[in-house]
């Protein structure tokens, strides 16, 4: 039977609720562009890069033909500055419920832990949460060419841990992230709504309900 060797986490929306800060910063920028930004639209931005997110907003708002590259970069920077101010006050208290206990369970089982975040701010966030030491490997935007849903980020994390994708489990809150995990052949655990994360192998409504024992049980049942 295949043995699981590592758990690879997404950051925003799984370890901490920075997904909400990305939402607020994009909403503020959208309002400036006279675009009515909804939570439903925000789901499409989860897990994708800053510039890809901006592109989607300006296409949706009908501004894409009027903005040149320099203006786009300035808008992306403006959003990032707002995001940076929002994450300034982050402390370990912002770790989502159940995550520390889950990390403890993973370590107790002797499994490795990886981080796969396309955020250029990932290191800062993990450091402020005082979690850097918990990770055996960290892959962020600087190490990859293609964002989620491309599998590159999860494949890189597995390679850096020196495991096959089939020996790893990925955890994500974004549809694009689940797609990326599944494209590697890993088992995918979703955090959030089942209809949005339909391609995941199993979904928990929130991080508080995460159980390593249950995940391993479902994984083993699936591969047997």
Catalytic residues: 10, 12
- Binding part of the chain for ligand B16, among 33-41, 92-100, 114-122, 211-219 by CB under 6 A, reads 114-122
Stretch 128-187 residues interacting with ligand B16 (CB under 6 A)? 141, 174
Considering CB distances under 5 to 8 angstroms, the limit depending on partner class, which of Mg ion, ligand B16, none binds residue 106? none
- C-alpha of 35 from chain center: 25
**8 Å CB contact between 40 and 148:** no
Residue 55 pairs with which residues in a beta bridge? none
Tell me how far, at minimum, the Cβ of 172 lies from ligand B16, in Å: 8
**8 Å CB contact between 131 and 24:** no
Query: HSE (CB half, 13 Å, CA atoms) of 212?
Result: 22
Kindly state whether residue 105 participates in binding ligand B16, applying the rule CB under 6 A. Answer: no
Tell me how far, at minimum, the Cβ of 216 lies from ligand B16, in Å: 24
Q: Quick one: 12 or 152, whose CB is closer to Mg ion?
A: 12
Tell me how far, at minimum, the Cβ of 123 lies from Mg ion, in Å: 16
**8 Å CB contact between 168 and 7:** yes
Place of tokens 């203006």: 71
- Helices of type H across the chain: 18-32, 39-45, 50-60, 69-87, 99-108, 122-128, 152-161, 175-184, 212-223
- Binding part of the chain for Mg ion, among 13-21, 72-80, 120-128, 199-207 by CB under 5 A, reads 13-21
Closest CA relative to residue 169, chosen from 120, 177, 206 = 177
**Count residues contacting ligand B16 (CB under 6 A)?**
21
**8 Å CB contact between 95 and 15:** yes
Residue 7 pairs with which residues in a beta bridge? 113, 169
Tell me how far, at minimum, the Cβ of 48 lies from ligand B16, in Å: 6
Q: Quick one: 64 or 97, whose CB is closer to Mg ion?
A: 97
Q: Which of 16, 121, 137, 207 binds ligand B16 (CB under 6 A)?
A: 121
Q: Quick one: 144 or 212, whose CB is closer to ligand B16?
A: 144
- Secondary structure of 200-216 in the HEC alphabet? CCEEECCHHHCCHHHHH
Kindly state whether residue 174 participates in binding Mg ion, applying the rule CB under 5 A. Answer: yes
Residues engaged in binding ligand B16 (CB under 6 A): 10-13, 19, 22, 45-50, 53, 80, 117-121, 141, 174
């Amino acid at each position: 039977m295949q043995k699981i060797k590592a758990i690879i986490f997404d950051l925003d929306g799984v370890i901490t609720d920075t997904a909400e800060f990305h939402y607020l910063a994009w909403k503020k920028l959208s309002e400036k562009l006279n675009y009515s930004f909804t939570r439903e639209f925000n789901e499409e931005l989860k897990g994708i890069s800053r510039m890809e997110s901006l592109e989607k907003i300006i296409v949706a708002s009908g501004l894409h033909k009027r903005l040149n590259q320099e203006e786009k970069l300035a808008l992306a920077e403006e959003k990032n500055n707002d995001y940076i101010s929002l994450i300034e006050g982050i402390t370990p208290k912002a770790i989502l419920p159940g995550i520390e206990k889950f990390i403890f369970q993973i370590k107790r089982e002797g499994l490795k832990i990886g981080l796969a975040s396309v955020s250029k701010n990932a290191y800062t966030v993990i450091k402020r949460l005082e979690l850097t030491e918990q990770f055996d490997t960290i892959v962020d935007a600087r190490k990859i060419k293609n964002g989620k849903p491309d599998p590159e980020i999860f494949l890189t994390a597995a390679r850096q841990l020196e495991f096959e994708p089939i020996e790893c489990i990925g955890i994500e809150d974004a549809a694009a992230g689940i797609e990326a995990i599944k494209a590697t052949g890993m088992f995918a655990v979703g955090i959030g709504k089942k209809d949005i994360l339909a391609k995941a192998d199993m979904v928990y409504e929130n991080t508080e309900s995460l159980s390593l024992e249950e995940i391993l049980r479902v994984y083993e049942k699936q591969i047997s």
